[in-house]
């Protein structure tokens, strides 16, 4: 079919032009995306952000050329010139699909497994909003989430975790098509897998269907229709031939290397495709015009009129607009106001309280923990989101940290403010998806407790050391390690107000005295003068649980007639990204006698201090005070270390 | 049965004594481990490192009290006093099982999913060695690998990835028992999962069995015997009751909180268990003496005599002893000798060549890539290890990075020198297991290519930025980013010679001129003076691809009459761990005008330089030279930046 072949040849021409890219999937999977877009997807290319559009996630992100060709033909703002600039600096057509870079791209994908897992988060958000806000005759949130997955994609643990949760939650509007071509980069899938896909998918409580030939549009149509009708999430395994009809068809050689213009020319003959390089026939454009663009525009218009009437009929539900527009509560300063300087509290407890208060005013806030909510105190409001309770905002992720992070991102892609909870050391499991949140600039809230070796008995595997450094080193991510309940509340406030990057909150298991009460502007710098003395000779700089330790050391030093200031630095990464002048107000240039103290890898603190008390070893199992004594994190040892400067 | 109840009460007493730990599994799973140890496990408690012992991995590591009780009764060097010191600093009984800390503990576990995945690596090593070295009538490597898994353990993606590979490889001597109690930390498993375990496991091509009651020893016995006889890997789902017979039995409340001495006392009545706290009846010790200890010792003696005869009968196979004793080739200096200073080569190519040369002299070297061997050039020798070729040393891991890292660790636990290959940005997927390698001090070889934004067209998701910082910040891990083919060879040599920690090698996709030829001792410092000028006024410090960039900048500066030295620093983390005096030989104190240059997060370089040219943003899609120009990584920009100092 010419409309499908147009996808194929635009895709091949792009790969040839760039002399870089993945032609295999372009040839094999073109019919699948055509059928989906021409008959099912509701999108409005002139309004790619239309809230109730169907979502399409290309989890096999290396098939980007196919997606760009599809978006071009479907009327999105992507010209032939854009296609010619495939994989060039500054183009709208980067090597893998990038959210923000290209209209119509619903998520950044490329690292396998991620798109599928993110899609589960999108489907959760849709289901929640549909059940929370729709009214009789006003189905204002009601769309499908489609995924194009692949052999390799499904080998990833994160994909399996996410599918397990999607099946459990019965996300019936999630439909996954698998480009099942039995080939992956290193050769036939048989070299590395014998998994029975049907059994696997059914074990996750998905509806499974099999389509024997990707080119059989009728079979595809029947399967997609059945999937839409199913009350379970659906999975359609579609057998295709990688590099279909090319000389290397069915082999891994066609996965990621350009065919070359000569072979592409030969293929034009095989497919009897008349148009030249980057040329598209009018009847092809016409087909997409009628079947994708106009059908989508009509759906959008129908929805818009429905939504207008909905807003009038249900003014109370107008808060859905706030979610659509990603508005945060305007009274955060009041809701998260500071507490008196008294008592002590674990900052995991502080966040639990703060999240409850926040949830009451922020209906978009939703999330939970990876089977640790009892320990992390991170829970969404209104009971568990489940197949029987679609309006609960607490997600029981199960022991699926990786999928949790991806799902939180997916929810944020759908303007639900997704948050996660876990032990900080298990952030390792989540890193691939957290990185995607930073790349996409999603406002995901990643909350962690059990922030250091001070967690005690659980031992080295549960005690983070290098984790602060790894997230502080990640671009476009902000990390907070608050000193007490008040800095915790400020961290949460700033995190919630930050809409263009993810935030990482790192909290304690153990109690911390309430010792800070900074102004919001000072806090936002990342570090501020917490305790000032007259004529200081030096500075102690600390974060989190070490701030009160620094204050104790300050007192001990004072007894010896030595006067030092204490700077609390809840966000080292925010601080070092400030202009020099701002930094120097907190850490005056001339004040070179500095000691930074943190129960973690020391390396990054040399950015602000010539001496650092940190940890370059793993922790140990024992009561927390014994551990701290063993590792020398006591006020006396801080004094000793300072005196050596 | 008294021998089982002894496990239960020792375990409960430990948890009560520490007032910390997990009693639920102790009560529920005790019969399973008893049956395994009393009837099947071949271990010699006086020789816990006996090479051909059966392995037992407690993947549900929070059940450590049960394991320690079992090891005590089984005659390992673990006294009642040791049990009383459960979860105390410096004890042999830490909160989760720690390899090295406790005789009889075959792997560090705790983070869920890891033990199961590590066990797959152990089973691969066993299968390889069995098929490689056994001779007719000389079955010198021939043992089982048992795992105790759990509901939560199997929700982890890494466990599913590893099972998928184990089933594909038909690792028939791998036997997984699942403590299936329908409860996890946050509540009933029904809250977060509906996965059909039988279907899931069968989809991975495992043999699946179901035991309805963990207390039914006959049923357990039948199942274990059938598992041993199966030609597939086996999985036995055993229904148990968490916190069996306690007042909170069957609920998550008994998962991770001590019962308390009072409740434990009450339970002694329920079980009609006569012994007091930490007391064990003689007939219980006798039972373990006969059924575990003597049976195991006899097996060890039989093996030892077989092995002695084997060594005489097959002197050529004596190299198995080198593997058992973890010997590395003595001629590495020769095998990995340096190349002439000419031409240029991608360091991924350099490693491919070096690994081939190394494989020829190092029969323990085994591993491969996660479906990227064509790109990474990381392949084991002798063809693929598969169900039909048990002596191949190349592992096709599939797109399963996380399981790959765990499996590589498992192989190293079994004295096979496991290595992995992947794109550096996907190290994120592997981090949880790489951290375990560092905690255990395993000599895993983690090789990565595509080390920076200079990989080009694939774009931000494929371009590492923060990854060097995250591994350099991890304790007990060494990271190399070699400047060229020669530093690559030296990195590999040093990595291979390092047996007490994992090594991370970070290599380029693009060509690099061969510009270094350091002595091995200088290289080992982590950084060395590469290019010295007369009367230098400053230093350029660089790693990897930026070393040749620094040399170019040095030349440009020279044209302006400015003389600077260039220091190559292939391992910043090794360098900063050197004594100050050693560091100052390379970076003299008085030479304060320094510029460090690296295509990655700058933060850690402030440890050695006051100014850093790094990246605090994600990359972009385009040809590599365009990317480097856009990001300002050109000799001219280095000069410009240096002149600003």
ipTM rounded to 2 decimals: 0.98
Considering the four listed CATH numbers 3.40.30.10, 1.10.3720.10, 3.40.50.1100, 3.40.50.970, the one that applies to the domain covering B2-299 is 3.40.50.970
pLDDT digits (tens, 9 = 90+) for B522-538: 999 999 999 999 999 99
HEC-encoded secondary structure of B166-193: HHHCCCCCEEEEEEECCEECCEEHHHCC
A461 and B108: CB-CB below 8 Å?
yes
Determine what percent of chain A is predicted with pLDDT higher than 90: 99
The pLDDT value recorded for residue B316 is 85
How large is the average pLDDT for residues B36-56? Answer: 98
How large is the average pLDDT for residues B104-129? Answer: 98
**B49: closest CA of chain A, how far (Å):** 23
Do the Cβ atoms of B512 and B545 come closer than 8 Å?
A: yes
Catalytic center residues of A: 401
Neighbours of B587 (CB within 10 A): 19
Diameter of chain A measured on Cα atoms: 90
Quote the mean pLDDT of chain A: 97
The pLDDT value recorded for residue B65 is 98
pLDDT digits (tens, 9 = 90+) for B445-480: 999 999 999 999 999 999 999 999 999 999 999 999
Neighbours of B308 (CB within 10 A): 10
How large is the average pLDDT for residues A211-232? Answer: 98
Query: Which ranges of A271-318 would DSSP assign to H, the alpha helix?
Result: 282-288, 295-313
The DSSP bridge partners found for residue A540 are: A566, A595
Rounded Cα distance, B202 and B164, in Å: 10
pLDDT band for B319, please (50, 70, 90 cuts).
confident
Rounded Cα distance, A476 and A435, in Å: 9
The DSSP bridge partners found for residue A566 are: A531, A540
Chain B residues closer than 8 Å to A192 by CB: 165, 168, 371, 396-398, 400
A399 and B152: CB-CB below 8 Å?
yes
A·B CB contacts under 8 A: 356
Domain boundaries, chain A: 2-299, 332-513, 526-643
Rounded Cα distance, A11 and A273, in Å: 14
Of B164, B184, B626, the CB nearest to A193: B164
Of A111, A436, A473, the CB nearest to B470: A473
Do the Cβ atoms of A307 and A325 come closer than 8 Å?
A: no
Chain B residues closer than 8 Å to A452 by CB: none
The pLDDT value recorded for residue A317 is 80
Token pair recorded at residue B309: 């005869």
pLDDT digits (tens, 9 = 90+) for A560-571: 999 999 999 999
Q: Which residue of B has its CA nearest to A438?
A: B618
Interface test with A, best of B466, B502, B576 (most A CBs within 10 A): B466
With H, G, I as helix, E, B as strand and everything else as coil, classify residue B145. Answer: strand
Of B160, B426, B607, the CB nearest to A157: B160
pLDDT digits (tens, 9 = 90+) for A251-305: 999 999 999 999 999 999 999 999 999 999 999 999 999 999 999 999 999 999 9
Rounded Cα distance, B43 and B469, in Å: 42
Rounded Cα distance, A345 and A485, in Å: 7
Interface test with B, best of A64, A95, A388, A601 (most B CBs within 10 A): A95
pLDDT digits (tens, 9 = 90+) for A571-599: 999 999 999 999 999 999 999 999 999 99
B96 and A195: CB-CB below 8 Å?
no
Contacts of B140 (CB under 8 A, 6+ apart): B52, B133, B134, B303, B306, B307, B310, B320
A606 and B606: CB-CB below 8 Å?
yes
Angle made by CA atoms B579, B583, B584, in degrees to the nearest 5: 115
A374 and B158: CB-CB below 8 Å?
no
Token pair recorded at residue B58: 């407690």
Chain B residues closer than 8 Å to A112 by CB: 399
pLDDT digits (tens, 9 = 90+) for A114-155: 999 999 999 999 999 999 999 999 999 999 999 999 999 999
Report how far Cα A543 is from the mean position of its chain's Cα atoms. Answer: 26
Do the Cβ atoms of B147 and B62 come closer than 8 Å?
A: no
How large is the average pLDDT for residues B239-244? Answer: 97
Q: Which residue of A has its CA nearest to B460?
A: A439
Instruction: Note whether A2-299 and A526-643 share their fold.
Output: yes
CATH level 2 (architecture), domain A332-513: 3-Layer(aba) Sandwich (3.40)
Of A98, A164, A620, the CB nearest to B89: A620
A396 and B185: CB-CB below 8 Å?
no
Token pair recorded at residue A146: 């489609």
Rounded Cα distance, B298 and A294, in Å: 80
Chain A residues closer than 8 Å to B576 by CB: 603
Determine what percent of chain B is predicted with pLDDT higher than 90: 99
Interface test with A, best of B111, B152, B182, B371 (most A CBs within 10 A): B371
The pLDDT value recorded for residue A179 is 98
Rounded Cα distance, B260 and B395, in Å: 49
Number of residues assigned to chain A: 645
Token pair recorded at residue B106: 């075959």
Q: In what order do the strands lie in the sheet with B594-597?
A: B528-531, B564-568, B538-542, B594-597, B611-613
With H, G, I as helix, E, B as strand and everything else as coil, classify residue B449. Answer: strand
A88 and B623: CB-CB below 8 Å?
yes
Rounded Cα distance, A191 and B384, in Å: 8
Catalytic center residues of B: 401
Rounded Cα distance, A24 and A183, in Å: 10
Chain A residues closer than 8 Å to B16 by CB: none
Do the Cβ atoms of A28 and A279 come closer than 8 Å?
A: no
pLDDT band for A316, please (50, 70, 90 cuts).
confident
The pLDDT value recorded for residue A364 is 98
B621 and A88: CB-CB below 8 Å?
yes
CATH level 2 (architecture), domain B526-643: 3-Layer(aba) Sandwich (3.40)
Consecutive H or E run containing B239? strand B234-239
């Amino acid at each position: 079919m010419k409309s499908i072949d147009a996808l194929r040849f635009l895709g091949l021409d792009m790969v040839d032009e760039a002399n870089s890219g993945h032609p295999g999937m372009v040839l094999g999977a073109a019919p699948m995306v055509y059928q989906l877009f021409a008959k099912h997807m509701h999108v409005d290319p002139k309004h790619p952000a239309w809230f109730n559009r169907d979502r399409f996630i290309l989890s096999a992100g290396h098939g980007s050329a196919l997606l760009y060709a599809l978006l071009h033909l479907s009327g999105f703002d992507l010209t032939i010139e854009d296609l010619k600039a495939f994989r060039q600096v500054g183009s709208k057509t980067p090597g893998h699909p990038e959210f923000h870079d290209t209209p119509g791209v619903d998520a950044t994908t490329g690292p396998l497994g991620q798109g599928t897992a993110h899609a589960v988060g999108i489907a959760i958000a849709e289901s929640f909003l549909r059940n929370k806000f729709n009214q009789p005759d006003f189905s204002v949130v009601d769309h499908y989430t489609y995924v194009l997955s692949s052999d390799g994609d499904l080998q990833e643990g994160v994909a399996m975790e996410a599918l397990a949760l999607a099946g459990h939650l019965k996300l019936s509007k999630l439909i996954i098509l698998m480009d099942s071509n039995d080939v992956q980069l290193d050769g036939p899938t048989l070299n590395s897998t014998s998994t029975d896909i049907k059994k696997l998918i059914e074990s996750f409580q998905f509806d499974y269907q099999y389509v024997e030939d990707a080119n059989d549009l009728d079979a595809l149509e029947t399967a997609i229709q059945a999937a839409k009708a199913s009350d379970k999430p659906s999975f359609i395994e579609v057998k295709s031939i990688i590099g279909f009809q090319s000389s290397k068809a069915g082999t891994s050689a066609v996965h990621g290397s350009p065919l070359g213009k000569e072979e592409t020319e030969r293929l034009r003959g095989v497919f009897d495709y008349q148009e030249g390089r980057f040329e598209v026939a009018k009847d092809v454009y016409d087909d997409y015009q009628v079947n994708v663009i106009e059908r989508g525009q009509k759906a959008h218009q129908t929805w818009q009129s429905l939504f207008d009437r909905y807003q009038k009929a249900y003014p109370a539900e107008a808060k859905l607009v706030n979610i659509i527009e990603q508005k945060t509560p305007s009274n955060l300063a009041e809701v998260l106001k500071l507490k008196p300087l008294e008592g002590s509290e674990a900052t995991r407890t502080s966040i639990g309280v703060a999240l409850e208060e926040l949830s009451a005013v922020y209906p978009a806030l939703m999330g939970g923990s990876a089977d640790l909510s009892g320990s992390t105190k991170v829970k969404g409001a209104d009971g568990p989101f489940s197949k029987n309770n679609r309006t609960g905002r607490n997600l029981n992720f199960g022991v699926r940290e990786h999928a949790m992070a991806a799902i939180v991102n997916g929810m944020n892609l759908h303007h639900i403010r997704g948050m996660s909870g876990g032990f900080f050391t298990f952030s390792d499991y989540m890193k691939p998806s957290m990185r995607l949140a930073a790349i996409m600039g999603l406002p995901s809230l990643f909350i962690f407790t059990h922030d250091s070796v001070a967690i005690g008995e659980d031992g080295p595997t549960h005690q983070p050391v290098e984790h602060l450094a790894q997230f502080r080193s990640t671009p476009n991510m902000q990390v907070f390690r608050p000193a007490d309940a008040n800095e915790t509340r400020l961290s949460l406030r700033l995190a919630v107000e930050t809409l263009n990057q993810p935030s990482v909150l790192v909290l304690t298991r153990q109690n911390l005295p309430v010792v800070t009460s900074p102004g919001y502007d000072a806090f936002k710098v990342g570090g501020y003068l917490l305790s000032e003395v007259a004529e200081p000779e030096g500075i102690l700089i600390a974060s989190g649980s070490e701030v009160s330790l620094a204050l104790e050391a300050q007192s001990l030093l004072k007894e010896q007639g030595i006067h030092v200031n204490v700077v609390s630095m809840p966000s080292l990464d925010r601080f070092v990204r400030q202009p020099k002048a701002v930094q120097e107000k907190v850490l005056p240039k001339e004040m070179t006698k500095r000691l930074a103290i943190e129960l973690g890898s020391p390396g990054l603190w040399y950015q602000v201090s010539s001496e650092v008390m940190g940890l370059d070893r793993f922790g140990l199992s024992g009561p927390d005070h014994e551990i701290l004594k063993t590792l020398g994190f006591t006020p006396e040892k801080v004094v000793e270390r300072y005196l050596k400067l």
